Structure 1
Amino acid sequence: MKFVNRDTRLELLINCELINRLEVYGKEKYPNEFGGLLLGKYINSNKTVVIKDTLLPKKYKSSRYYFERGSNGLKELLEQYYANEGLVYVGEWHTHPDNAAVPSQTDIRAMKELAEDKNVLINNPVLMILEIQKTDYNIGIYFLFNGKLLQYILAESE
């Protein structure tokens, strides 16, 4: 699937199988929030991010309206993904059970802190939110750009 932000012309590519996996992970933890890391690569002179996989945290704190991902062991796994597949950390995903796939103030603040973190080497981290319901889901995909969270929208078929 291809998503685009019309103002910046930045693009995001992700396959349906990965989105379906994220939905399954989210529904397994329903009605609590859950999430993980997004892994991918940048192409087209860094104008397109291709999301290829996810890393799930070994430890996390979660409730119906809260998710905090632990970081134990993730650095080593990220290094393996980079060495074996050339994939890098591109952002985060989490669920909003029975709530809109729209960033909360906590989500916005976390993305800004992520972009300012000297250990994170991306300027425009991706935030994917899945609105999980018992039988359905909706997806919202955002990225930080010049201190603001902008949305990707599904591109029209070409």
Structure 2
Amino acid sequence: MRDSYTYTSKDRLFEVTLHRQVCEMMRELCGKLHPKETGGILIGYYSEDQHTAIITKITGPPGDSKHGLAWFERGTEGLQNILDNAWEKEQVYYLGEWHYHPKDFPSPSSIDINQMELISKNPKYHCPEPILIIVNGDTNKTLCAYVFPSDKSYISLEEF
């Protein structure tokens, strides 16, 4: 079994690595709320050369999140405390969002795209290139990765 999964842009400018435990946790959380959408945030760090985002942990949905069969609104309850502790203990930080599309192909909806573009441009997030991981609702719970640079359209990453 692999220890991690890597997703790369065709031009190889962007790369995301997810630890196996992170993928397993996402799939587990999706299974618990199926058939509703769910999600959380991605936490990790960048490689020394700033080329690769390494996702080491995720959160589940905060308590004030709202779930539907074809929509998810991530809440914020407790997230700042989680991020403060992650930085203090491990020097890891917010890298983006993840969520579950139980019925759809795991591509970003127009709502997802708008949200990620707002995050990329909002200085409060300190995240000009947020990552979005979408978990597909098929039996294998396939993961797809996207990066949203603040200065251009989003980029689909392929498993490497």
- Does TM, scored on the shorter chain, surpass 0.5? yes
Residue 72 of structure 1 deviates from its aligned partner by: 1.5
CA contact (8 A) 1:23 1:132 kept: no
Aligned length: 154
Bigger CA drift: 84-93 or 13-22? 13-22
CA contact (8 A) 1:101 1:129 kept: yes
Is 1:103 matched with 2:130?
A: no
Q: Which residue of 2 aligns with 1:54?
A: 58
Whichever residue aligns with residue 20 of structure 1, its letter is E
Task: Determine the C-alpha separation between the residues in 2 that align with 1:71 and 1:30.
Answer: 21
Instruction: Tell me which of 3, 14, 17 is aligned to 2:18.
Output: 14
Is 1:118 matched with 2:97?
A: no
Task: Determine the C-alpha separation between the residues in 1 that align with 2:31 and 2:80.
Answer: 26
Residue 8 of structure 1 deviates from its aligned partner by: 4.6
Whichever residue aligns with residue 121 of structure 2, its letter is E
Alignment of 1:73-112 (within 5 A): 73-112=78-117
Q: State TM-score, norm by structure 2.
A: 0.91
Task: Determine the C-alpha separation between the residues in 2 that align with 1:42 and 1:15.
Answer: 14
Structure 1 unaligned residues grouped into runs of 5+? none
CA contact (8 A) 1:95 1:131 kept: yes
Is 1:137 matched with 2:131?
A: no
Task: Determine the C-alpha separation between the residues in 2 that align with 1:119 and 1:48.
Answer: 22
The percent identity for this pair of structures is: 25
Structure 2 unaligned residues grouped into runs of 5+? none
Task: Determine the C-alpha separation between the residues in 2 that align with 1:147 and 1:31.
Answer: 33
Q: Which residue of 2 aligns with 1:33?
A: 37
Runs of 4+ in 1 over 2 A off after TM superposition: none
